[in-house]
Amino acid sequence: MPFTPQFSWDFLPYDEIEARTIRALKNHIDYLKRDSEYYRELLVDINSADINCLEDIHMIPFTEKDTLSEMSHRFRVASEEQIVETVVTSGSTGVPLMFPLTASDIDRLAYNESLSFYSAGVTSRDRAQIMVSLDRLFIAGMAYYRGLIALGANTARLGVLTPEMQQHYIELMRPTVLIGVPSYLLKLGEQLKQGGVDLENFTIQKIFCIGESIRDESMKLTATADKIEKLFGAHVYSTYASTEVASTFCECTERFGGHAHPELGYVEILDSNGDPVPDGTVGELVVTTFGVEGVPLLRYKTGDLTFKVPGECACGRHSMRIGPIMSRKAQLVKYKGTTLYPMTITNVLDSMPEVQDYIIELKGREGAPSEEMFVHAAVKPLLVTQIMTKIQAAARVNIPVLVSNAATINSMRGDNRKKIRLIDNRSKQ
């Protein structure tokens, strides 16, 4: 039977979503006080009866990533007998965290992804190919797979293969949907085109991009995303998630912001003081997870900086939408008196086909008045001045560009399953 969002809150009136969210918050607090060792102590002076409106959540302390990392065993709720799978975070900004999942947690992930793909127009008539890792305890590939088959889509678990093998399976399976990391998809498309493959004859209609932002602060497509659309002749969709949050923010058919799923969690966007920011203003994404059995969280600070997209979505959903992830909070840089989002620099470099590969390195002392920043680029030396000029125009500061090669840059990433664009070598003191 084709998937239908019969239990989704997305199309409910705003006041009904708010009323249901308040009830869910009350139930979540009761659940945590009863079953979570960590939250039982944290909420000793707070009861579900104290939550009478959404603003009341601000009396509840935040959950920090460092605390979760140091005391993970105290956050765990499910018993050993209930755990059916364990996943880990990517560890892109610290030590990877282990997350145990129950069978219900996996079903919840599948439902979440089904809602997301459904909102973007994917149906049981589609054929999908997953081009991200499905091993090494990676949650995303598994979640996409479970969500797509729940939706009824014919789904192929390919993973990250060589361009020749991807071409073989694209021609064999004739997919209408691809899921992958933008930098990988761009490289794939360029290599296939250089090999004489006519990409316009492919059946691909939708491409879901994970792990890297495909829009800028104005919600326009980045250079990478624009190239992907032109190469494949398909629309790109942004989707964001994290292992801890256990739900996805995916663009709908309107492709203007990633919808939250209010029945799966409550979302806040806050400033450095913990206060809500106006719509359209960048702040930290904070999430309370509903319905999680393994490691349920309350007011978890993701460390990701984004903004709430103002206004109503033309798709008719009333769920909150977020913009692109502008940066990790820990990766904001104060350089020569200017606070920078790394995305400002990556957008420039991604727009230059002459740059084969690159990585941004942060050095110096974290929090110092002027930290150090370098761009290591696999590029011809004659182009360094041109690159620095373009970066200065976008970032309003002059950042050194060091000539390197693709092999050296890739080695700087270490054993990271993501193609990271920034390494933080700043000292903490």
pLDDT mean over 13-38: 96
* pLDDT tens string 338-383: 778 888 898 899 889 899 999 999 887 766 666 788 999 999 999 9
Per-residue model confidence (pLDDT) at position 107: 94
Tens of pLDDT, residue by residue over 98-107, are 899 999 999 9
Q: How confident is the model at residue 396 (pLDDT cuts 50, 70, 90)?
A: confident
Total Cβ atoms within 10 A of residue 252: 23
The residue ranking higher by pLDDT, 251 or 191, is 251
- The bridge status of strand 422-424 relative to strand 358-363 is parallel
Q: Is the pLDDT assigned to residue 1 strictly greater than 50?
A: no
β-pair type (265-270, 283-289): antiparallel
Query: pTM surpassing 0.95?
Result: no
Q: Which residue type is seen at 296? A: P
Start-to-end CA span in the chain (Å): 58
Alpha-helical runs (H) found in 120-162: 139-151
pLDDT of residue 174: 95
**Which residues are CB-contacts of 373 (< 8 A; sequence separation ≥ 6)?**
333, 335, 340, 360, 361, 362, 363, 399, 400
Q: Tens of pLDDT along 218-254?
A: 999 999 999 999 999 999 999 999 999 999 999 999 9
* Domain 332-424: CATH class, spelled out: alpha beta
Give the number of C-alpha atoms closer than 13 A to the C-alpha of residue 397, restricted to the C-beta side: 20
Q: Determine phi and psi for 233, rounding to 5 degrees.
A: 65, 35
Residue 170, φ and ψ in degrees, nearest 5: -65, -40
Considering the chain, what percentage of its residues have pLDDT values greater than 90?
A: 72
Mean pLDDT of all residues in the chain?
91
Q: Mean pLDDT throughout 122-137?
A: 92
Window from 70-74, 250-254, 330-334 with minimum mean pLDDT:
330-334
Which CATH code is given to the segment(s) 1-326? 3.40.50.12780
**Tokens 């203007």 found at:** 256
pLDDT at 265 over 80: yes
Give the residue extent of every domain in the chain.
Answer: 1-326, 332-424
| Residue 94 confidence (pLDDT) | 56
Residue with tokens 């239990």: 7
| The pLDDT of residue 4 | 59
